[in-house]
Each structure stands twice: as C-alpha cells, then as structure tokens.
C-alpha cells in the first residue's frame, strides 16, 4: 500500500473513531463532525485532492447526519402506498408522459 493510500485510510479511521466516541452525546457528535470538516478543508488546501475530500465529506455527512433526510425532496409528497387507485393512475400517466 502506498503512503498516500495509508494516509487516506488513516483519515477515514480517525473520522470513524471520532464518530464512535461521540455517538451517544449530541454535542460531542456535532463538534466531531465540525472538526472533521475543518480538517478536511485543511487537507484540501494543502493537497488540492478534490476527489478524496469530496468523498470524505460525503462520508462524514452520512455518518453524522444519518437520521436526517438525504435531501429536501425526500420529505416532500405523499407515500404512494397511501394514494388511491385513481391517484396512482394519474401519477403513472404523468410519468409516462415525462419519460416515454
């Protein structure tokens, strides 16, 4: 394993360790998330490795915001299972127009 790969693995390990230590304390978890982001920004400034930092940021946000909705649209709309048959027909018709 190259020294660069070793560095990347160490970064991910540090993020995971911080997450495990702070899992039961909301304030520690928020602080750990913020510190991880700050450190990643410093790495970006020093190395200019956009791909690694981007992936690591996604990793941090998915770990520390795991309970949160993934995006704005995931909380919008109605659950299809609660729609009436008529509403489902309308939705399917609109989707067909859009994609076919």
Domain boundaries, the chain: 3-99
Query: Percent of the chain beyond pLDDT 90?
Result: 3
CB 57 within 8 A of CB 37: yes
Q: What confidence tier does 20 reach under pLDDT thresholds 50, 70, 90?
A: confident
40: nearest Cα among 11, 16, 74, 72? 11
Confidence of residue 55 (pLDDT cuts 50, 70, 90): confident
Instruction: pLDDT band for 75, please (50, 70, 90 cuts).
Output: low
- Check residue 86 and give its pLDDT: 92
């Amino acid at each position: 394993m190259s020294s660069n790969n070793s560095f990347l693995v160490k970064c991910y390990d540090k993020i995971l360790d911080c997450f495990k230590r702070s899992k039961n304390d909301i304030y520690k978890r928020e602080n750990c998330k913020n510190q991880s982001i700050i450190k990643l920004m410093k790495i970006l400034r020093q190395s200019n490795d956009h791909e690694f930092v981007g992936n690591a940021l996604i990793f941090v946000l998915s770990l520390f915001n795991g309970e949160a909705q993934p995006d704005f649209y995931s909380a919008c709309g109605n659950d299809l299972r609660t729609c009436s048959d008529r509403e489902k027909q309308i939705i399917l018709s609109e989707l067909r127009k859009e994609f076919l």
